[in-house]
Homo-oligomer: A and B are copies of this chain.
Amino acid sequence: MTDIAAIRAAAARLAPVVRRTPLLESPFLNDIAGRRVLVKAECLQHTGSFKFRGAWSAISAMDPELRARGVFAYSSGNHAQGMAYAAQLHGIPAVILMPADAPRLKLANTAALGAEVITYDRDRESREEIGARLAAERGLTLVKPYDEPMVIAGQGSCGLEIAEQAAEAGVSAADVMVCTGGGGLAAGVALALEAEAPGLRVRTAEPQDYDDWAVSLMKDQRTPATGGRKSICDAIVTPEPGEITFPILSRRAGPGFAISDAEALRAMSLAYERLKIVVEPGGAVALAAALFRPDAIEGDAAIAIATGGNVDREIFSRALAIS
């Protein structure tokens, strides 16, 4: 089970290695939003996304003998890189199953970080089935990307930092926008804030046709996304909320946001211009919600987690063309 004690323990294991990412602010973004907007720049985390937190938390919590045999993960890319690097730092083998159409940069980086990469067809194969088989055959331990208590606890360490940094910035009442796929980060952050900063409330942000969290939170029942056009927000196009993460967020999260690809690109463009950070589309939907949905925000301020920055150059160039 994940609770605040597990999150604090994960934060302690992470302390020697994790990067305490800054909480950025720009008067220009505040003007657009009509309130203060604070951006937690997790794109500056090791491997370019928050996923390193959960990966390190899970691997560092394993039984040492089991850990030495290696770990296994499936991921559209950011969990893959986080796992590969956390495994490399632990000196253990990592096998990563990635969709063949994942961004090239994510595929290449995962391999360069020492992992064995195996690709699969996202439309025709079940990553869960392949994963279970590979794990059984090779004696590796599967570390799921979000429905895994030690991963949620690791992501929660980001929430502990937000609680501290928001207090330093003088913010005690805010909506905390979180780019949400399976919900591991949102759940961990929600638990951390409940304990450390009760005036800060998590709000999920998702791509328009993959708004399973927004719908599920509204119905108070796990509901698959309708799907639809392919989104450029590759990091967070999960089919439905996680089993473990949903009950956590159904109690603690406010209504979710659904963001268009065009809005994600515009948020990336503003993050480039005003914050000098590189954010990927799936990492920009939270900032888009903070900037472009002012009427749906309840807090005095909005805090947006820029969850990752692993974006191919063609897509980033599209964002640059918007000014």
Residues of A within 8 A of B (CB): 19-22, 24, 27-28, 41, 43-44, 48, 85, 105, 109, 112-113, 272-273, 275-279, 309, 313, 316-317, 320-321, 323
Once A21-B22, A28-B112 are accepted as A-B contacts, the answer to whether A276 and B48 lie under 8 Å apart by CB is yes
Q: Report how far A45 CA is from B130 CA in the complex, Å.
A: 46
B320, A43: Cβ atoms under 8 Å? no
Verify A43–B278 contact, CB threshold 8 A: no
- Interchain CB contact under 8 A, A113 and B276: no
B residues in contact with A273, CB < 8 Å: 105
- Distance (whole angstroms) from the CB of A86 to the closest CB of chain B: 12
**Given contacts A272-B278, A277-B276, A317-B317, is CB(A44)–CB(B22) below 8 Å?**
yes
A21 to B275, CA, bound (A): 12
Q: How far is the CA of A316 from the CA of B27 in the complex (A)?
A: 23
With both beta carbons as reference points, the residue of chain B lying nearest to A273 in the complex is identified as B105
Residue among A21, A279, A317 with the highest chain B CB neighbour number at 10 A: A317
CA distance A323 to B113 in the complex (A): 18
User: What chain B residues lie within 8 Å of A321 (beta carbons)?
Assistant: 313
Find out whether the CB atom of B323 lies under 8 angstroms from the CB atom of A313. yes
Q: Which 3 A/B pairs are nearest by Cβ-Cβ distance?
A: A276-B309, A276-B278, A43-B276
Q: What would 20 more interface pairs be, CB under 8 Å, given A44-B276, A313-B320?
A: A19-B24, A20-B22, A21-B22, A22-B44, A27-B85, A27-B113, A28-B109, A41-B44, A43-B276, A48-B276, A272-B278, A272-B316, A276-B277, A276-B278, A277-B277, A277-B278, A278-B278, A316-B320, A317-B317, A320-B320
Q: Which among B20, B112, B275, B279 is the interface contact of A44 at CB below 8 angstroms?
A: B275
Interchain CA distance A320-B318 in the complex, whole Å: 11
CA–CA, A117 and B189, complex, Å = 44
A33 to B244, CA, bound (A): 43
Give bound CA distance, A321 to B316, whole Å.
Answer: 11
Q: Which residues of B contact A48 (CB under 8 A)?
A: 276
Q: In whole angstroms, what is the CA distance A105 to B270 when docked?
A: 13
Kindly list chain B residues whose C-beta atoms are within 8 Å of the C-beta of A19: 22, 24
Q: How far is the CA of A232 from the CA of B157 in the complex (A)?
A: 41
B residues in contact with A277, CB < 8 Å: 44, 276-278
Residues of B with C-beta under 8 A to A272: 278, 316
**Bound Cα distance A113, B321 (Å):** 24
How distant is A16 from chain B, measured CB to nearest CB, in Å? Answer: 10
- Which residue on chain B has the smallest CB distance to residue A45? B276
Complex Cα distance, B278 from A44, in Å, reads: 11
Residues of B within 8 A of A323 (CB): 313
Shortest CB–CB separation between residue A233 and chain B, in angstroms? Answer: 17
Give bound CA distance, A313 to B270, whole Å.
12
Q: Which residue of B lies closest to A24 (CB)?
A: B44
CA distance A28 to B114 in the complex (A): 12
- Measured CB to CB, the closest approach of chain B to A65, in angstroms, equals 27
Bound Cα distance from A272 to B44, whole angstroms = 11
